[in-house]
Chain A
Amino acid sequence: MEKTLVAKVNNEIDVLMRVSGIIRRKGFDMKSIHMEEDTGNLANLRIMLSYQDKCVDQLMNQIRKYNDVYELRCEM
């Protein structure tokens, strides 16, 4: 099943690089990535991961550590 990571992040390109970088390093493939300005200095980031037989919990724990990621959830 495909999984989509949905995050509230700082509205800066750096956070996009950080998050996509760790996804790459943990060996996940992306189907799509979308970042859109939200209110204030925040943005909504949606990343659809290709189907993989891998647990995303580790990846999410890693992403949550970034200072510019405020909320993160996984949608099936």
Chain B
Amino acid sequence: MEYTGAEIILECLKEQGVDTIFGYPGGAVIPLYDALVSYEEDFFHVLTCHEQGAVHAADGFARSTGKPGVCFATSGPGATNTVTGIATAYMDSVPLVVFTGQVPQSLLGRDSFQEIDITAVTFPITKYNYLVKRVEDLPQIIREAFDIATSGRRGPVLIDIPKDIFTTKMDYIMAGVFKHEEKPAMPDKNLLLEAVKAIDESVRPVIYAGGGVVHGDGEKELFHLATKASIPVANTLMALGAFPMSNPLSLGLVGMHGHKKTNLAVTKSDLIIAIGARFSDRVIGSKDKFAPKAKIIHIDIDSSEIGKNKEVHFPLEGCVKDILKYLTEKVLQKDSRQWLKEIEALEDKNPYTSEDFTPENILAAAQKILGKNTIIVTEVGQHQMWAAQYCKVDDPRRFLTSGGLGTMGYGLGASMGAQVGNPDKRVLHVAGDGSFRMNCNELATVSKYKLPITTLLFNNNSLGMVRQWQGLFQDERYSQTTLTDDVDYMKLVEAYGLKGKQAETMEQLEEALKAAAASTDKATIIECKIDKDIGVFPIVPPGMPIDNMLLE
């Protein structure tokens, strides 16, 4: 049967099981949006306010559901507006397929209206990208794109389509999902057995779990290995929830803002088992002083990550899930009570529990009132680190944050995607005033689609994290980090038809959270006014060893 290029795209998306698209129309994609009218029953299209919001939403959808996120944008500025979102997904290995329109082929290379070479722009931030030159190539390219985005180390793929391709007709045959079945080979057996021996002989082992555990669906296998061999688990920002934080073996966040006992445990460790983690500078600080006494096992599906930032003794390249399963079968059952006791003693005991209006108490109240099943989505800055330190996350895909790129403005869009993909769950959007201002235009989308997101807006009238660095490392020379209080967030929120509440005490906050929890079709923005001098601690000065923490 004959279809236009635009119809073929939509047929291929159906083939891939896609039912949700985030996007924004424009000149070059008019034929695609025209075809979409006939596919209304097949796709839920979320019209955002800006293409950046659309990509972040597709990203939040993908991270929270495990399915690839799909996004449409037009040529030129529409395409360049997707760049930050694509780079965010690339750095955190999130599977996206982004379709951009392009000027007709007859106008390519002539600096035509809204022409940009988006494939060249996105070479370094996509796992792969395509400029479609023949309509006949479309089905294969789309099938390949989904396969690339969702296999191996996940990542975004961009398909740039000239306008004339959308309208050209061809015979299309449905082909089903193309997925290469090849499983990555297991590492050499001798190396695996050496790693098993190292685990068995270790007295102070620590698992350092990264986002690859979640992307590789290896949470259960991680749990089995950690519990069988009694190994404490430290996690990166990307792996919050990969191991239940309520488990006594959980050490929580490691690195620049890691917990004191976690950073010290890693430093004292004699064996680090890095799983789907990339030894980022924000985690390891000074690379030579990270776990200086430890042998290192590194399990990763991406060969280019192994040995990239830190020398490794046991490089185990392959599927995280399969390797963990193998190791779990072979390692001895152990009891490391002594080591765990030693770690516990590393944390300062603070018998004073305050009921003050602090970030820790605010986040605890939000989790308590909204429920354990809530998906937490953050922006980037101090509030992000408070959320990472204080939120108790027991399940994977429940804590979404821009870890690698650190994209301020990520959170609201990603919250929309998470809520659309998980209508049965609550979404808690944790924001700072700096990040919130970046993409708060998306409140119109939140309002339009009646998404009952709860935003906790930590308002300290400043760009808190940068201000904190200026205070600590620039001799308190505060430069351009004060935002003043010239925005009335309650009026702003009202203008979008949403509910706004202000809280300056725990009582006010709890009341606002209860009202938010009761709302099923309207977002609530709760502005929490906090002091600009509240910092994120511990903090490791950049480039320093992670046991060199400033605690206050």
Contacts and interface: CB of A to CB of B under 8 A. Distances in A.
Interface of A: 14, 17-18, 21-22, 25, 57-58, 61-62, 64-67
B302 A18 contact: no
Given A66-B128, A67-B128, A67-B148, A17 B304 contact: no
For the complex, would chain A's binding face be called helix, strand, loop or mixed by DSSP majority?
A: helix
A20 B473 CA distance: 38
Nearest to A18: B123
B37 interface: no
Contact of B123 (A21, A57, A62, A65): A21
B303 A61 contact: yes
A66 B119 CA distance: 15
Contacts, number: 27
Interface residues of B, number: 14
Contacts of A64: 303-304
A17 to B, nearest CB: 6
Contact of B302 (A22, A57, A65, A66): A65
12 contacts: A14-B123, A21-B123, A22-B124, A58-B304, A58-B308, A62-B304, A64-B303, A64-B304, A65-B152, A65-B302, A65-B303, A66-B128
A14 B131 CA distance: 10
Nearest to B130: A14
A76 to B, nearest CB: 21
Interface in B104-145: 119-120, 123-124, 128, 131, 144
Nearest to B124: A21
B423 interface: no
B304 A25 contact: no
A58 B307 contact: yes
Nearest to B144: A67
Given A21-B123, A22-B124, A61-B303, 8 more contacts: A14-B131, A17-B120, A61-B304, A62-B304, A64-B303, A65-B303, A67-B128, A67-B144
Interface string B22-52: 0000000000000000000000000000000
A23 to B, nearest CB: 12
A57 B317 CA distance: 15
Contacts of A65: 152, 302-304
A38 to B, nearest CB: 21
A65 B124 CA distance: 13
